[in-house]
Structure formats: C-alpha cells, structure tokens
Amino acid sequence: MFRSSSLRLAALYTAGFALSVVALGAISLITTEAALRRMFDDRIAAESASLIQEYRTEGREGVVQAVRERDRTPGALDYGLQGADGRAIAGRLAGARAPAGWSVLSMGAAREDAERTRVLAARLPNGERLLVGDDVDRTEALNDELVRRLALAFVGVVLLGVAGGWGLSRGVHRRIASITGTAQAIIDGDLTRRVPAARAADDLGSLAATLNRMLDRIGVLMESVRQVSNDIAHDLRTPLTRLRARLEASLRAGDRAERVEAIEGALADLDAILGTFAALLRIAQIEGGARRAAFRPVDLAELSRTVVEAFAPSAEDAGQSLQLRAEGPLLAEGDPELLTQMLVNLVENGLRHAGPNARVEVRCKRAGGAPVISVVDDGPGVPAAERERLFDRFHRLETSRSTPGSGLGLALVAAVARLHGAEASLDDAAPGLACLVTFQTPG
C-alpha cells in the first residue's frame, strides 16, 4: 500500500496544495496587514485633521473640550494637547514625548505589557502640539485572528488531502492489484483468468477491458499454435511412420533391388516431409510480414499467363483443360515471387480437386477498380459450410484425404493474400468452385 503510486501521487498533491495554501495565506496576511495599517493611519490622520478644523471654527477652547470629551468616550482614539514647549495641557497623551509626525510610543515603558501606541503629532496654528494616536495592538489582534484562521484552514486542507488521497489510492490500488493478480495467475499457468470487469467506465476500466481483449487474442493465437503443432504432429507422423517402415524394410531386404526400392521410397517420403516443412516455414515467413519491402508494381495478368502456360500441358496430359481469361494488364503492388507461388497453388488446387476432364479457368479482371484474380473450376465444388475452413492450415476435406497434398496450399494462398492486403475467398461456381483473390483498389 505504501509503495502504491496513487498514494504517492495523492501525498505529493496534498503537499503541493498545502504549500499553496501557506503561500496564499502569507500573501493575504501581508496584504491585510498593510491595508489595516493604512486604514489605522488614515483614521488617526482624519481625526487629527478634524481637530485642527475644530480649532479653526471653535478656537483653542473648542479643541481642548473636544479632546477631553473624546478621551472619555470608550473605544475612541487617544488624544493629547501640549504647549509649544511640550508642557501637558489636556488629554491622555498630553504627557507623551513624541517627535513631530508619525511615531510609535510605548506607554508606561517600564511594564511588560506596555501598550504600544501609534501617534501623529501635528501643530495647531497657535503653535501648540496636537497628538492623536491609537493602540497598535488592536491591528495586531486582528492579524493574529487572521493567522489563527489560516492555520485552521491549512490543517483542514492537509487532513482532507491525506484522507482523500488515502481513500482514492486505496480504490485505485485495489483495482491495480486485481490486474496484477490476474497477470500473476496467468504467469502461473491459468490462462483462462481475466481481469474482473470494472463498474466505472474510466481509464482503468478501459485498461482492464483492453487487457482482457489482449488475453482473449493471445488465447486464440495459442490455440491456433497448439492446433498447428497438433496438425504438424499428425500430418508428419503419417509420412514419418511410412519413412521408418521403409527404412526398416530396406534393412531386412534380402534382395538388392528390393532394398533400393525401399530406400527410394524412403527418399520420396522424406521429400514430401521436407515439402511440408518448406510450406510451413514459407507461410510463417509471409505471416511475419517482412516481405512488404520487396513490393513493386506487378502485372497480375502477365503472372497468370506464365503460370497457365506452365501448367496447361500437364493439365492437357491429364485430360483437363487450363485456360486464361484476361483483358489487358492488371497492375497491383506486390511481391512477384510470392504472387506467382499463390497462383500456382490456386491452379494446382483447382486441377487436383476438380477431377478428370475438368476445365479450370484463371480470370484476371477488375471489379469496381480493384484487381481480382479468380481460379474457377467445374469440379464437384465445396459445400458452403466447408469453404471458409479451406484456408486453414492442414485443413483437408474428408473427400480429398485420399488425394495427395499437404493441406497447406490454400493456407499459403491466404497468407500471401493477407500480406498484400488482399482478400482470399471461395465462391460457388455452380457446379464448381471459384477461388477469388481480391486486391485493394489502388490509390
């Protein structure tokens, strides 16, 4: 809890806030004090000016009377009238020795609780001195009161900050702890664990949701990797078993010709296994996506022509026909080598599964500006429910288990298509199957 980043943040924030309260308090204190003092002085100066005015209207006697009268009024200022030589005439301050102008006098200097008085000494027109003053401690009491209240506010702020920070960080900490706990559980092997869903739709809530989505995705990938390794194990075990059997047979073979036959069979099995490996590695390499650097403009129609010309004679020998239908060049950005391999796989797939006397056609065209290559056969086709899975690794229809093939051909087609931002799909060609690769519209 004490190593919680939210608590540390809350503490820092509270400290910063408290500091700013102190600074604010200091500033207002200084300002208030200055303002109070000015008001204090203004009052004394106004009092002094009004008495001098009194002298002008009422004469000396009026002033003496006013001083005496005001001295008796509680809460009023202190007054004093002195002769030009400083002798006391009237008022409480009459005995004070104050210089001309502003000064602060200590009344009854001997005592500890000496009253400090701010005094303004002015001269009446007749040369006598008029002293007006007030108790300084009254402004200081006001100041002290202000300081006390500011200190209370400060304590309040700090208490609120600490309590709020504590509460806030406890909540955040609890939620982060639940994420940490989930991660730890996953590290320990429980891949099904997920971060509990948050009630609040805040950033931590969206973090938890994102983490859960990531975990789901990883789960799917792990599952597909597991599936692939199972498939590899299964699909390689069969030829490996055959290979082993043949090699054992070659050991037992009494006849030389028999032995050679077994070894040649073993080599053929080995080549088939290596072919599967090569296809898997190729798919993995393509899915790594590192090949995009080699992209350049490619004429898909030209590539198709090369492939069709290469495979047409074999198809004819097998009683099938392979044809190209292309209207002029069909340009796309891509890797010519991979695209060629993709086309070869599509054509071989069509020829292999469409059966004898099948007609396979490679079509190059544009659909809404996007280049589309399709390989259409008139074979038995594939049920709609089965079609999507044909692009999975090692997926083979039960009906085609008996025909040769690794089950990787269309997986490679899908991988090459994805690398090119194209989409590989299957469609019903009634009666046959149409494999389509739809590229993105250029630009």
DSSP output for 305-370: HHHHHHHHHHHHHTT-EEEEEE-S--EEEE-HHHHHHHHHHHHHHHHHHS-TT-EEEEEEEEETTE
Q: How far is the CB of 283 from other proteins (least distance, A)?
A: 12
Show the beta-strand stretches assigned E in 49-191. Answer: 78-82, 88-90, 101-107, 115-123, 129-135
> Which residue of 4, 212, 285, 438 would you call a contact of other proteins, by CB under 8 A?
285
Cα(200)–Cα(207) distance, integer angstroms: 11
Contacts for 45-50 with beta carbons within 8 Å, 24 or more apart? 45/120, 47/77, 47/132, 48/120, 48/122, 48/130, 48/132
Q: Residue 225 in 3-state DSSP?
A: helix
Handedness of CA 436, 437, 438, 442 (dihedral sign): negative
Is residue 403 a contact residue for other proteins (CB under 8 A)? no
Name residues contacting other proteins, limited to 110-149 (CB under 8 A). Answer: none
Which one among 206, 230, 241, 314 touches other proteins, defined by CB under 8 A? 314
What is the rounded end-to-end Cα distance, in angstroms, of the chain? 55
Give me the least distance between CB of 264 and other proteins, in Å please. Answer: 8
Cβ atoms 408, 390 nearer than 8 A? no
Closer Cβ to other proteins, 22 or 270, answer by number: 270
For residues 207 to 246, the per-residue mask of contacts with other proteins, x marking binding by CB under 8 A and - elsewhere, is: ----------------------------------------
Of 31-39, 69-77, 278-286, 366-374, which part binds other proteins (CB under 8 A)? Answer: 278-286
- CA 355, 358, 364, 370 dihedral sign is negative
Taking CB under 8 A as the criterion, the residue among 61, 85, 188, 317 binding other proteins is 317
CB 178 within 8 A of CB 196: yes
Phi, psi at residue 433, to the nearest 5°?
A: -120, 140
Which region among 3-11, 37-45, 195-203, 249-257 touches other proteins (by CB under 8 A)? 249-257
> Should residue 351 be labelled a site residue for other proteins when binding is judged by CB under 8 A?
yes
**Which residues inside 326-345 make contact with other proteins, applying CB under 8 A?**
335, 337-338, 340-341, 344
List all residues 6 or more positions away from 274 whose beta carbon is below 8 Å from its beta carbon: none
Give the residue, chosen from 290, 292, 327, 328, that forms a contact with other proteins under the rule CB under 8 A. 290
3-state helix, strand, coil in the chain (%, to 5): 60, 15, 20
Q: Which is nearer to other proteins, 172 or 362 (CB)?
A: 362
List the one residue from 278, 319, 367, 389 that touches other proteins (CB under 8 A): 278
Half-sphere exposure of 137 (CA within 13 A, CB side): 7
CB of 10 or CB of 262, closer to other proteins: 262
As measured in angstroms, the least distance from the Cβ of 262 to other proteins is: 11
Least distance in Å: CB of 273 to other proteins? Answer: 10
Separation of alpha carbons 286 and 412, rounded Å = 8
Q: Which stretch binds other proteins (CB under 8 A): 67-75, 153-161, 206-214, 259-267?
A: 259-267
In the complex, minimum distance from the CB of residue 433 to other proteins, in angstroms, rounded to a whole number: 18
* Structure token digits, residue 84: 């030009």
Q: How many residues bind other proteins (CB under 8 A)?
A: 35
Among 40, 79, 311, 391, binds other proteins (CB under 8 A): 311
Backbone angles phi, psi at 396, to 5 degrees: -135, 140
Task: Out of 15, 142, 310, 370, name the contact with other proteins by CB under 8 A.
Answer: 310
338 burial level (CB within 10 Å; 0-12, 13-18, 19+): buried
Q: How far apart are CA 119 and CA 44, in angstroms?
A: 8
Q: Which stretch binds other proteins (CB under 8 A): 157-165, 229-237, 270-278, 378-386?
A: 270-278
Nearest approach in angstroms of CB 344 to other proteins is 5
Question: Per CB under 8 A, does 61 bind other proteins?
Answer: no
Which stretches of the chain bind other proteins, using CB under 8 A? 255-257, 259-260, 263-264, 267, 274-275, 278, 281-282, 285, 290-291, 294, 306, 309-311, 313-314, 317, 335, 337-338, 340-341, 344, 348, 351-352, 404-405
